[in-house]
Amino acid sequence: MWNMADIFSKKKRSEIMSKIRSKDTKPEIIAKLILKEFEYQPKEFGRPDFINYKKKIVLFIDGCFWHCCPIHSKIPEQNKGYWIPKLERNLTRAKEVEMAYKMAGWRVVRIWEHELSKLRNRLSFQKLV
């Protein structure tokens, strides 16, 4: 099991966890990013945003527009005939990539872009993205 204790004191850790806790986020995953357990933008299949080879975790940050976020997604009024199939293909592709990783024994984590920017502003994760 992953453990931050060797890097952060208990107090610091609970401080971090309390700041990033919210119903939509995955605090453990974000905390891992803070600790730089992940490599950023590896040249791997499906272009994950972060990867941890040792633990076999890939992390995707889903853009609100490109991945049709239920909160922010807005298909442009003009050219709907172009955008709808394009975005559908994008989602299908993302599912295929996710499935391929899972079949190979990887854990796949997805974070919405809007979750990330919220966290970055609050905690100044300058180096995260």
How far apart are alpha carbons 69 and 56 in whole angstroms?
Answer: 26
Query: In whole angstroms, how close is the CB of 68 to Zn ion at the nearest point?
Result: 9
Query: Which residues inside 47-86 make contact with Zn ion, applying CB under 5 A?
Result: 64, 69, 71-72
Q: Which of these ranges, 11-19, 20-28, 88-96, 109-117, lies near Zn ion under the rule CB under 5 A?
A: 109-117
- 120 is an interface residue for Zn ion by CB under 5 A: no
As to burial, measured by CB atoms within 10 angstroms (0-12 exposed, 13-18 middle, 19+ buried), residue 50 is: buried
- Which residue lies nearer to Zn ion by CB, 13 or 26? 26
Main-chain dihedrals φ then ψ at residue 109, nearest 5 degrees: -120, 135
Residues that bind Zn ion (CB under 5 A): 64, 69, 71-72, 112, 114
